Amino acid sequence: MKKRSTIAEFEKRSVLLFAALTLGTAGSVFAQSTATPATSPQDQEIGAVFQQADKNGDKSLSAEEARELPAVSGQFTQIDANQDGAISAAEFMLAMKGGKPRAQ
Ligand SMILES: [Ca+2]
Ligand SMILES: [Ca+2]
């Protein structure tokens, strides 16, 4: 059985490490918007990484923007689930979580 678009655990960690390193001031911004109960701290970290990488702020990552994130860039076509040439926040979130639904 073959999993699709699964990012290796190591690479996932490197992305989260990138988040931790770059959060800095951004962390306080996210701390103010924790009203949504469905959003876990991990979701916020992933969202912060996404925003950092999305240089032009169009809410999607182009191949060029994804180069900031080796773990993403290396699997760009897999993460880009709808194959429109850009990674949306939803596609990014799914990929960072390994594409698996959360256990109930
Ligand atoms: Ca962008
Ligand atoms: Ca896409």
Specify the CATH superfamily of domain 9-23+40-96: EF-hand (1.10.238.10)
Model pLDDT, residue 5: 58
Which own/partner pairs from 4-13 qualify as long-range (CB within 8 Å, at least 24 positions apart)?
Answer: 4/78, 4/99, 5/75, 5/78, 5/79, 5/81, 5/94, 5/95, 5/99, 6/98, 6/99, 7/71, 7/75, 7/95, 7/96, 7/98, 11/70, 11/71, 11/74, 12/71, 12/96, 12/98
Q: Which ligand is nearest to the CA of 78?
A: 2
Q: Which ligand is nearest to the CA of 60?
A: 1
pLDDT tens per residue across all 104 residues of the chain:
666 656 677 677 777 766 666 655 555 555 555 555 567 899 999 999 999 999 999 999 999 999 989 989 999 999 999 999 999 999 999 998 875 554 44
Model pLDDT, residue 92: 96
Model pLDDT, residue 9: 72
Model pLDDT, residue 98: 76
Say how many Å lie between the CA of residue 88 and the centre of ligand 1.
9
Say how many Å lie between the CA of residue 28 and the centre of ligand 2.
29
Q: Which ligand is nearest to the CA of 76?
A: 2
**Taking the domains of the chain in order of start, what are their residue ranges?**
9-23+40-96
Q: Which ligand is nearest to the CA of 68?
A: 1
What's the predicted TM-score (pTM) here?
0.59
